[in-house]
Structure 1
Amino acid sequence: MERYDILYRLYGNFDADAVREAQDFVDLLPPLGSSVALSHWQAVDDELTEKKDRIKRAFSDGDRYAELAARATRDQAFTALDLYTKYEKQVNALVLDVDETLRSAGRTDNEIPREVLHLLTEFHEADVPIVICTGQTLENVKGFSIQGLGNELVHSGNVSIVYEAGTGVFTPGHGSDTKRLLYEALDDSVQSVFESVRGRVIRDLPDSLRGCVHLQGNEFNVTLKPNFETGSDDAETVIDDGLVYMMDLLGEAVTDDPEGPAWVRSYFASRDPEIEGVLADRGEKPDMDATIPDDVEATLERVTVAYYHADAAELSAVDLNKAAGVEAALDVLGVDDPFVLVMGDSKSDLDVMTWAAEQNQGLAAAPEHSSPGVLEHVRETDGLVFDRGDAASVLRTAYALNLLVD
């Protein structure tokens, strides 16, 4: 209970909110363009030093608690202490989804907030590796990572990018391990299915989809995206149509039997209620009890058709998911005994969260608007659900946890 008593003293006897606000001002103020602004910044910095010194003198381990007051709210600090009591482990890697997790079109104009970027640099300076884990292409992720975090940090050797939901891992500064193409390890039979679908998906588009969708520039996965605003009614319509079209292409790729498309529809509808719902809404719900030949089913067990409402329809490989990508990234980064913070909002992020929970290798956090399965998992584990656009709150909690570990 001693640590709890210290936190009660820290947040009860000192104005920790003022300390944190001053720290944020000093850290986050944009580049100064006038002597008046610089003078004000210096005054706040001097006041911050004085406030921290008071805390340092009041506790035997004063540096730790002065830093804690400067980084975390009372609630975040106590949550961190609860996590420390439960796990007695330090977060030694961050695994971070980007879209609708670190950044959100709902509140941040789809830009990663400056507060979040600064906290990531704080973790980096504390030698905590960062794994960016996303369904986007490598070039897209590299671009916004360098823009947000800086070229030096991204190429420091302590940052890895799991891209296209686990088809590849890019870790600058690691020689021959800098880029691992995980899809190259797949059987030729699986790779040929992807080659067939990828080669036809745009060439054979039906007239109703021409000009309405485009193929994301992936290295391996086949991802149809709408030519309309994500989430809009038009995007919903074309992605629903694109999902069915992609399943039919898959059916023709796995077998010459004309029943192939029907078997694919049945297979994935029986395993994914969202896909079943799309087919039902179109009046094309398949025979859920259809008998699928063993060889066709064996191939379908190796691939995944994913549906993201009004956002994307995607063909990927079962063996290539974010969890597999994260394991590869941690291997390259040399994190031998991982205890990670996984932050994400979608079904693909749930793979990583489940892996971490089953191996007792980390925590899971998610924004309030996440998919139902993600929210259920997070609430049943440590309850780290945060408001849309407020990823910083969980990062502060994790930073506080690391401060509390001896």
Structure 2
Amino acid sequence: MEQYDRLYRLYSEFDTERLRDHQAFVDLFPPLDSRVALQHWQEVSDALAEQRAEIVEAFTTDAPRSLATRPDVAAITEEAGQVYADIAAKASRDQAFTALDLLRTYERPVNVLVLDVDETLRSAGSTDNEIPREVLHLLTEFHEAGVPIVICTGQTLENVKGFLIQGLGSELVHSGTCSIVYESGNGVFTPGHGADSKQLLYEDLDDTVIAIFEGVRSRVFSDAAPETRRGCHLQGNEFNVTIKPNAATGSERARALIDDALVHQLDVLGAVAADQLDGDLDLDPVVAGEWARATYAAADPEIRGVLESRDAVPDRDLGNAPPALASLFERIDVAYYEADAAELTSRELTKPDGVDAAYDVLGIDDPFALVMGDSKTDLRVMQWAATEDAGIAAAPEHASPDVLEHVRSTDELVFDRGHAADTLRVAYALNRLAELEAE
């Protein structure tokens, strides 16, 4: 019987929704120190075991009668029955059939997870900015199945490491199969690998680029208007320059603060760049700031929209921009995250660079990743994986338009805000179905 027919039978003959409810309760709500709670947990656990046993029996006896007495066939089909029970307990009908479609398309399982955090695994709008327990539990299941986890984020290392240890446990984070690509690819931290555990990729950039980042970091607040100095702060990055609002992320107040900060950050970038080129270019810092604003407005519609709202788009023809200055701007990226951050990063170091370095440390020679993210920096990883035929991409429904366009044009793995678990369940089912194909 084909896999499609088996899945159809699984979801039509068994109450899989009730099974998933019981599995979620047992997984996420361990017995408490209460006789009543323990009794209820045990009742649900017993019901779960009974439901799973019915599926195992049904699919174990699915072998041809002429082979049913052979011990080797019995063992294989019983294992298959366990796989179908696992799939039904974790994935909905739609998720299981999506997994089967992916298996038919790519003919291989996911062997590494590459995951953004903010607005992907967790969401300020629907998960109180916490990674949901079901997501954390699914990640531990992938870990136990031997699938490495690469957290790929723009956040600082210490921040990411802290909440990962809190959510996943120190043992998993320090297992040697978990890597953190932080500050959008500037550094990689993979505990348990000796001298290779921490790689500071930004140290390999040339002196001019490093000096620009140091200059912007030192001047961005000292030269800022009082409102920006009081209302914003610098994220504690090792290299990137990230301005964050003191107001609640996503609020109107945060939006106004970050919009003003973005304009100021571009002006400071231009001025610092002009200082670095002083020996080659006699350029007024204010004019250099205008060239910076014109450059990044032309490159990014969101940035242009912010500058237009502040009447800060200069009347500059980029065709007349000083070549040395234009060349320098080509090496530096400015990212705008609405009501969240204005960030300076190096275009010579991106998330794909960090992920590639993480793969090297983890020993992943032939990756096929599930890449999950919401921003343009995540899009670079998705496109890199697609170009290398090394993964599939998924994004939340509120991701940036370019990300959604890429995801919908590939495998259409778009999930609701705060529901990253839905896509992880698809990947789980994909991997379990791949086990059956390998038998």
Q: Shared fold (TM-score greater than 0.5)? A: yes
1:263 aligns with 2:309: no
Measured in 2, the distance between the counterparts of 1:181 and 1:220 equals 10
Measured in 1, the distance between the counterparts of 2:45 and 2:119 equals 33
Query: Are 2:31 and 2:38, in contact at CA under 8 Å, matched by a contact in 1?
Result: no
Of 426, 431, 437, the match for 1:397: 426
Tell me the matched-pair count.
406
Q: 5 Å matches for 1:267-346?
A: 267-290=295-318, 291-346=320-375
- Letter of the aligned partner of 1:54 in structure 2? E
Measured in 2, the distance between the counterparts of 1:296 and 1:31 equals 63
1:17 is matched with 17
Measured in 2, the distance between the counterparts of 1:384 and 1:165 equals 23
Measured in 2, the distance between the counterparts of 1:352 and 1:264 equals 26
- Letter of the aligned partner of 2:396 in structure 1? P
1:184 is matched with 203
Q: Secondary structure at the match of 2:229?
A: coil
Query: Are 1:269 and 1:288, in contact at CA under 8 Å, matched by a contact in 2?
Result: no
2:401 is matched with 372
Measured in 1, the distance between the counterparts of 2:198 and 2:146 equals 22
Post-superposition shift, 1:240? 1.3
2:181 is matched with 162
Deviations 1:137-162 (A, max 9, x none): 11110110000001111111111111
1:4 is matched with 4
Post-superposition shift, 1:46? 2.1
Q: 5 Å matches for 1:7-86?
A: 7-59=7-59, 60=77, 61-86=80-105
Post-superposition shift, 1:47? 2.1
Post-superposition shift, 1:63? 1.6
1:354 is matched with 383
2:159 is matched with 140
Query: Are 2:126 and 2:418, in contact at CA under 8 Å, matched by a contact in 1?
Result: yes
Task: Determine which structure has more spread, i.e. the larger CA radius of gyration.
Answer: 2
Query: Are 2:121 and 2:420, in contact at CA under 8 Å, matched by a contact in 1?
Result: yes
Query: Are 1:239 and 1:309, in contact at CA under 8 Å, matched by a contact in 2?
Result: yes
Post-superposition shift, 1:108? 1.5
Measured in 2, the distance between the counterparts of 1:234 and 1:51 equals 52
Deviations 1:352-374 (A, max 9, x none): 11111111111111111111111
- Letter of the aligned partner of 1:264 in structure 2? A
1:96 aligns with 2:115: yes
Query: Are 2:291 and 2:316, in contact at CA under 8 Å, matched by a contact in 1?
Result: no
Structure 2's unaligned 5+ residue stretches are 60-76
- Letter of the aligned partner of 1:112 in structure 2? I
TM-score relative to the length of structure 2: 0.90
Deviations 1:35-61 (A, max 9, x none): 222122222222222222221122232
Deviates more, 1:277-286 or 1:305-314: 277-286
Measured in 2, the distance between the counterparts of 1:50 and 1:251 equals 68
Measured in 1, the distance between the counterparts of 2:250 and 2:57 equals 54
Deviates more, 1:160-169 or 1:21-30: 21-30
Post-superposition shift, 1:230? 1.4
2:74 is matched with none
Post-superposition shift, 1:288? 4.8
Deviates more, 1:226-235 or 1:175-184: 226-235
Structure 1's unaligned 5+ residue stretches are none
Measured in 2, the distance between the counterparts of 1:280 and 1:44 equals 58
1:120 is matched with 139
Deviations 1:247-275 (A, max 9, x none): 11111111241121121111111111111
TM-score relative to the length of structure 1: 0.97
- The answer to which structure has the higher helix fraction is 2
1:173 aligns with 2:202: no
- Letter of the aligned partner of 2:289 in structure 1? P
Query: Are 2:122 and 2:131, in contact at CA under 8 Å, matched by a contact in 1?
Result: yes
Deviates more, 1:287-296 or 1:175-184: 287-296
Post-superposition shift, 1:31? 4.3
- Identity of paired residues, percent? 64
- Letter of the aligned partner of 1:91 in structure 2? V
